[in-house]
């Protein structure tokens, strides 16, 4: 079967060149059957509760199912054609059921408990001990200790949540794809930069019937420039409403009733509460935090509100300046949210005498990738080289990390561009984790995914590369940080290799850490080249960027805190049966912390994929929590006087990246920094010193 079904071939990299949706069902069914047989074998009384007889064979034996289903999930995210969506959704209940059953298997749990209390446990490495402790925690969270008559209900909850999460993401993608406008009057597009117009022109020409005009959609590379640069205010307002009401109950725009995520949100929250109460927790937030650094919802809420108090004076100053500039300079007396990006760009240009569009011309794709790879090489003493592998789309490239001696460290796929079949945002995922095998080390492989504008192709008789905004460059560095956490691990046990076993509120540390290099002149000088002249970004322009670095940082901080508070409160202090809605909670949060309030018809929760379509439920605060860690970590390089200080870089590699989840994240941070984390560096980096 392995010769005919690529999902069952684990000899090397995924065989994306031959993989088809029809392969999913037979492969996953076969792997599920093998996994169940393995569980039956390892739960037999004759199998000793030891690491070599039980724990390691269980992890290794279940890896093929995880890897194959990971490929299927990846295709669902990056190539969401009807056949792939159907194949994924067909097997999702079966896979969810298996893992729910596994998590509730009391015999397996008891074997872990027996291993934990045995004399052998004291002889295990610290990494293996952490694997055992994590497994025991996860079994408790999966309902292993529930009475047998309650386990079917708990299992049904897990399956339904998985299905609702997948449906949430599909609805959002469908609603995003459904809205587009083809504009034929160039006067309506005044203010938009040439590259945005070129992309819109190409999008119109590529439309099914072929259209003469400029096509704009709700995908970020199209929507973002329109909101930031279009002088036409009604056009901005129209697109803002379409974007803000995606996957909601409204029938205007291109929404369909079946895409409304409102009932899915309510049902998901009901199920999460039931899940928590069955496990003996007061709420789902407590469940979520049981595997994180933060101790309690109260601690998280206090942390967020403390940051909000520090950021609010700066945010109030930001919004006051924005409204005054809109009124006095642009004639916009009734400033609205759909004006925010546009007015901010105009204010930025006037105050700092540059625009994001001007900067974008210097960040060509070849130079940015070259600069990124050079940072990786200088910091962590590895080489980044092009490599070959089967890929899922012509856009995708493949690379390898090597030691200076030429030994393979890991490999990664890079999928940079937006597509209608690809979910929005940017993310890293694993294709394969590092672990020790009988014949050596299995090397890790990662997926790095972004949603940038693709190269425009021929312009004025010559090929033009893709160009990135500075924010997009930071996004690329951010996701690469996640990738490095996965690829540079030295872990040899699956449960704690790479990002496995890392507390969720610490997993953003390496990614946010890498963003700092986008503000280093040595890096910028080497990775910039004007798309037409090839000249590097001028130091004068970079100095303006630095001066503007904290432009509206107060507003941006409060926006992230708003999302984080909303997430924590709906999971910690919300009863879906009380008559209070998630929108009521969101409005209360905005009244507490926001300085720019959206219209009442704004349906932000319906597109909040992080918490309803991803793994950040009661965990969105992790971004702010990890910002404290990452800013403080980068401060170690600042204190050394060199962003590439070899001693500090090696310590960051040794104590943060290489250890992965083999020990608690706080211990890793203290081992690197020599003390617990401090918020001071974050406030300094954001220009928000304590007031």
Instruction: For 87-128, write each residue's pLDDT tens digit.
Output: 999 999 999 999 999 999 999 999 999 999 999 999 999 999
pLDDT at 1: 41
Query: In sequence order, which ranges of 529-645 are alpha helices (DSSP H)?
Result: 539-547, 553-572, 582-593, 609-612, 622-640
Residue 676 region, left (φ>0) first, then alpha (ψ -120 to 50), else beta? Answer: beta
Helix, coil or strand: residue 417: strand
pLDDT at 209: 59
Contact in structure between 31 and 91 (CB atoms under 8 Å): no
pLDDT at 621: 95
Domain with CATH 1.10.1370.40 in the chain: 365-499+507-537
Between 126-141 and 82-103, two packed helices, what is the crossing angle to 10 degrees?
100
Q: What is the mean pLDDT of the chain?
A: 95
Query: Within 13 Å and on the Cβ side, how many CA atoms surround 529?
Result: 15
pLDDT at 226: 98
The hierarchical CATH code for the domain 262-354+552-620 is 1.10.1370.10
pLDDT 10s digits, 212-251: 899 999 999 999 999 999 999 999 999 999 999 999 999 7
pLDDT at 689: 63
List phi, psi (to 5°) of 111: -70, -40
Long-range contacts, 194-201 (Cβ 8 Å, 24+):
195/357, 195/360, 195/453, 195/456, 195/467, 196/222, 196/225, 196/226, 196/229, 198/456, 198/459, 199/453, 199/456
* CA nearest to 495, candidates 51, 140, 45, 144: 51
Query: In sequence order, which ranges of 467-581 are alpha helices (DSSP H)?
Result: 470-487, 509-515, 521-526, 539-547, 553-572
Q: Give the CA diameter of the chain.
A: 81
Residues designated catalytic: 479
Examine the pLDDT at 191 and tell me if it is beyond 60. yes
pLDDT 10s digits, 402-441: 999 999 999 999 999 999 999 999 999 999 999 999 999 9
Residue 227 tokens read as: 């909101």
Percent of the chain with pLDDT over 70: 98
* CA nearest to 555, candidates 300, 314, 253: 314
Please check whether the domain covering 6-145 is classified as CATH 1.20.1050.40.
yes
pLDDT at 691: 39
Q: Whole-angstrom Cα distance, residue 66 to residue 429? A: 13
If one counts every other C-beta atom within 10 angstroms of the C-beta of residue 38, the result is: 17
How do 445-452 and 408-417 pair as beta strands?
parallel
Contact in structure between 297 and 568 (CB atoms under 8 Å): yes
Average pLDDT in the 515-528 region? 97
If one counts every other C-beta atom within 10 angstroms of the C-beta of residue 578, the result is: 8
Strands (E), 202-337: 214-217
Q: 687 falls in which pLDDT band (50, 70, 90)? A: confident
pLDDT 10s digits, 379-397: 999 999 999 999 999 999 9
* Sign, Cα dihedral of 22, 27, 30, 35: negative
Average pLDDT in the 311-336 region? 97
19: CB partners within 8 A, 6+ apart = 6, 7, 71, 75, 392
Q: Whole-angstrom Cα distance, residue 298 to residue 302? A: 6
Domain with CATH 1.10.1370.10 in the chain: 262-354+552-620
Residues found in the chain? 691
pLDDT 10s digits, 15-38: 999 999 999 999 999 999 999 999
pLDDT 10s digits, 55-64: 999 999 999 9
Distances from the Cα of 17 to the Cαs of 238, 394, 402, in angstroms?
A: 41, 11, 25
DSSP letters of 452-468?
EPPP-EEETTEEE--B-
pTM: 0.89
- What is the C-alpha end-to-end distance of the chain, expressed in Å? 66
Examine the pLDDT at 458 and tell me if it is beyond 90. no
Average pLDDT in the 645-667 region? 97
Give the 3-state DSSP-derived string for 111-163, with helices as H, strands as E and coil as C.
HHHHHHCCHHHHHCCHHHHHHHHHHHHHHHHCCCCCCHHHHHHHHHHHHHHHH
pLDDT at 3: 60
* CA angle centred on 135, ends 129 and 138, rounded to 5°: 145
The hierarchical CATH code for the domain 365-499+507-537 is 1.10.1370.40
pLDDT at 262: 97
* CA nearest to 408, candidates 376, 384, 377: 384
Which stretch of 35-39, 306-310, 340-344, 369-373 has the lowest confidence by average pLDDT?
306-310
Domain with CATH 1.20.1050.40 in the chain: 6-145
Residue 507 CA, chain-centre distance (Å), reads 10
Task: Provide the 8-state DSSP code for 508.
Answer: T
Q: Whole-angstrom Cα distance, residue 663 to residue 490? A: 13
Q: 2 falls in which pLDDT band (50, 70, 90)? A: very low
357: CB partners within 8 A, 6+ apart = 193, 195, 229
pLDDT at 256: 87
Average pLDDT in the 439-455 region? 96
């Amino acid at each position: 079967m392995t010769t005919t079904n690529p999902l069952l071939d684990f000899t090397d990299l995924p065989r994306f060149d031959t993989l088809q949706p029809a392969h999913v069902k037979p492969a996953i069914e076969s792997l599920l059957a093998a996994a169940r047989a393995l569980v039956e074998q390892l739960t037999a009384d004759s199998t000793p509760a030891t690491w070599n007889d039980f724990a390691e064979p269980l992890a290794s034996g279940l890896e093929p199912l995880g890897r194959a289903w990971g490929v299927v999930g990846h295709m669902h995210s990056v190539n969401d054609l009807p056949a792939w969506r159907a194949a994924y959704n067909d097997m999702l209940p079966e896979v969810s059921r298996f893992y729910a059953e596994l998590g509730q298997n009391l015999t397996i749990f008891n074997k872990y408990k027996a291993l934990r209390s045995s004399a052998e446990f004291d002889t295990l490495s610290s990494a293996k001990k952490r694997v055992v402790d994590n497994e025991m925690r996860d079994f408790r969270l999966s309902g292993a200790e529930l009475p047998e008559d309650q386990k079917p209900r708990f299992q049904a909850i897990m399956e339904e949540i998985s299905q609702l999460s997948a449906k949430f993401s599909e609805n959002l993608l469908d609603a995003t794809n459904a809205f587009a406008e083809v504009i034929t009057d160039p006067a309506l597009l005044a203010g938009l930069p040439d590259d945005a117009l070129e992309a819109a022109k190409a999008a119109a020409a590529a439309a099914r019937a072929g259209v003469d005009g400029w096509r704009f959609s709700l995908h970020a590379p199209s929507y973002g420039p329109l909101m930031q640069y279009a002088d036409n205010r009604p056009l901005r307002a129209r697109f803002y409403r379409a974007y803000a009401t995606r996957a909601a109950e409204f029938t205007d725009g291109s929404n369909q009733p079946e895409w409304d995520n409102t009932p899915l949100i309510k049902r998901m929250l009901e199920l999460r509460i039931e899940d928590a109460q069955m496990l003996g927790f007061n709420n789902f937030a407590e469940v979520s935090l049981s595997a994180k650094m933060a101790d309690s919802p109260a601690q998280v809420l206090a942390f967020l509100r403390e940051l909000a108090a520090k950021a609010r004076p700066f945010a109030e100053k930001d919004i006051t300046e924005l409204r005054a500039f809109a009124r006095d300079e642009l004639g916009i007396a009734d400033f609205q949210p759909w004006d925010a990006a546009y007015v901010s760009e105009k204010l930025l240009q006037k105050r700092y005498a540059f625009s994001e569009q001007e900067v974008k011309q210097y960040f060509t794709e070849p130079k940015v990738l070259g600069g990124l790879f050079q940072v990786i090489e200088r910091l962590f003493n590895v080489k980044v080289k092009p490599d070959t592998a089967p890929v899922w789309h012509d856009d995708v490239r493949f690379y390898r990390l090597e030691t200076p001696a030429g030994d393979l460290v890991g490999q990664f796929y890079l999928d940079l561009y937006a597509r209608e079949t690809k979910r929005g945002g940017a993310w890293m995922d694993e294709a394969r984790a590092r672990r020790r095998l009988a014949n050596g080390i299995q090397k890790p492989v990662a997926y790095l995914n972004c949603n940038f504008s693709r190269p425009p192709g021929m312009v004025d008789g010559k090929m033009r590369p893709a160009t990135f905004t500075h924010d997009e460059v930071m996004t690329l560095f951010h996701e690469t940080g996640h990738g490095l956490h996965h690829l540079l691990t030295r872990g040899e046990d699956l449960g704690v290799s790479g990002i496995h076993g890392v507390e969720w509120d610490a997993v953003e540390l390496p990614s946010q850490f890498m963003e700092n290099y986008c503000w280093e002149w040595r890096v910028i000088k080497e990775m910039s080249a004007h798309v037409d002249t090839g000249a590097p970004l001028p130091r004068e322009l970079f100095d303006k960027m630095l001066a503007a670095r904290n432009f509206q940082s107060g507003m941006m901080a409060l926006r992230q805190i708003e999302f984080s508070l909303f997430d924590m409160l709906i999971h910690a202090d919300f009863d879906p049966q009380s008559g209070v809605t998630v929108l009521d909670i969101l409005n209360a949060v905005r009244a507490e912390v926001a300085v720019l309030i959206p219209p009442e018809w704004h349906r932000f929760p319906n597109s909040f994929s992080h918490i309803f379509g991803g793994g950040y439920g009661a965990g969105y605060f992790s971004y702010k929590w990890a910002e404290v860690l990452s800013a403080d970590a980068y401060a170690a390089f600042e204190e050394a006087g060199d962003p590439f200080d070899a001693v500090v870089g090696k310590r960051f590699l040794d104590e943060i990246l290489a250890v992965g989840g083999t020990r608690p994240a706080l211990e890793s941070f203290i081992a690197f920094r020599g003390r617990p984390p401090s918020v001071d560096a974050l406030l300094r980096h954001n220009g928000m010193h304590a007031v």
